[in-house]
Structure 1
Amino acid sequence: MSLESVKAHFQKWNRENDIMEFDSSSATVEEAAATIGVEPERIAKTLSFRGSDDLAVLVVAAGDAKIDNKKFRHFFGMKARMLSPEEVLEQTGHAIGGVCPFGLAHDLDVYLDVSLKRFHTVFPACGSRHSAIELNLDDLSTFSSAKDWIDVCKGWQNEEGESS
């Protein structure tokens, strides 16, 4: 059902046929990168956090980025608390391994992390453990209805703060 909700979401832009479906797993950053044949950092992973109300907050970040708790708290005004797999499924409509900011079960706030801005295109999942789509950053922002670009990650820059 989840992949179907994402396909329906992309029909608005006539892009449902751009969704790639695989025989092998794309559930983790490493598996997705190997399956697609790209660098792991170009996988756009969607992270689900407990929001200030009953709805989750989604952060889409580069595959090599990790949440920086201090930056997260500064931006959102709360501690970064990831949802359980059951909560992720209930909030997004997608199971872990296929979580994406498209075709969501609820109207959730989506933010894009600046770690993605190093790339012309990235590969987010499409609601299943065997799917992805290649999107440029403008399309990712549009199709996800992202509220804003934010800086809440670490681990993707070198010591001088330059992207790796």
Structure 2
Amino acid sequence: MAIEQVKTYLEKWNKKMNVQEFEQSSATVLEAASALGVKPERIAKTLSFRKGEDAVLLVAAGDGKVDNKKFRAVFGEKPRMLTAEEVLDKTGHAVGGVCPFGLKEDLDVYLDESLKRFSTVFPACGSSNSAIELTNEELYLLGNAKGWVDVCKGWEME
């Protein structure tokens, strides 16, 4: 089970005990926010895109939407999401529980600037009913991120 892989992975940082599991689904941003009792924008959703023959993971705030022009400027091609089967094959996690931890393949992970407005965020932990609260620094380290990018819209404060 993917959540067990994630827990094993998080043991390296003594974070295994911080994984929260819920009776209810946390597979969508709104479900996760409800399960955790937080605003949806604090959910750190992990999106999976094609990058040539490989895949890249983008972790963004729950209210961020990928901007095609920004994505193309950063990654050199238009955003094309992986199918559910490809996501499971590449990450080892099913859609609804995808996270940058305990991945099946070594994928490039990027964090979107939309996360930086929060002191802590809540990514999933490999299942459709789990999450963990992390600072952005912890998410960067534990997610083995390659860097910060600005590829989302719709979240900017006015």
2:90 corresponds to: 91
1:3 corresponds to: 3
- Structure 1 residue 49 displacement after superposition: 0.1
Q: Which amino acid aligns with 1:131?
A: S
Q: Which amino acid aligns with 1:138?
A: E
Runs of 4+ in 1 over 3 A off after TM superposition: none
Q: Gaps spanning 5+ residues in structure 1: where?
A: 158-162
- Structure 1 residue 52 displacement after superposition: 1.9
- Structure 1 residue 32 displacement after superposition: 0.2
Q: Which amino acid aligns with 1:19?
A: V
Q: Is the partner of 1:6 in helix, strand or coil?
A: helix
2:144 corresponds to: 145
- Give distance in 2, aligned partners of 1:14 and 1:79: 38
Q: Is the partner of 1:12 in helix, strand or coil?
A: helix
Taking every aligned residue pair, what percent have the same amino acid on both sides? 65
- Give distance in 2, aligned partners of 1:52 and 1:114: 23
- Structure 1 residue 12 displacement after superposition: 0.5
1:126 corresponds to: 125
Please tell me the root mean square deviation across aligned C-alpha atoms, in Å.
Answer: 0.7
- Give distance in 2, aligned partners of 1:49 and 1:98: 16
1:36 corresponds to: 36
Could you give the per-residue CA deviations for residues 59-89 of structure 1, whole angstroms, max 9, x where no partner exists?
0000000000000001000110000000000
- Give distance in 1, aligned partners of 2:34 and 2:129: 12
> Where in structure 2 are the equivalents of 1:67-106 lying within 5 Å?
67-106=66-105
How many residue pairs match? The answer is: 158
2:46 corresponds to: 46
- Give distance in 1, aligned partners of 2:144 and 2:133: 17
Q: Which amino acid aligns with 1:71?
A: K
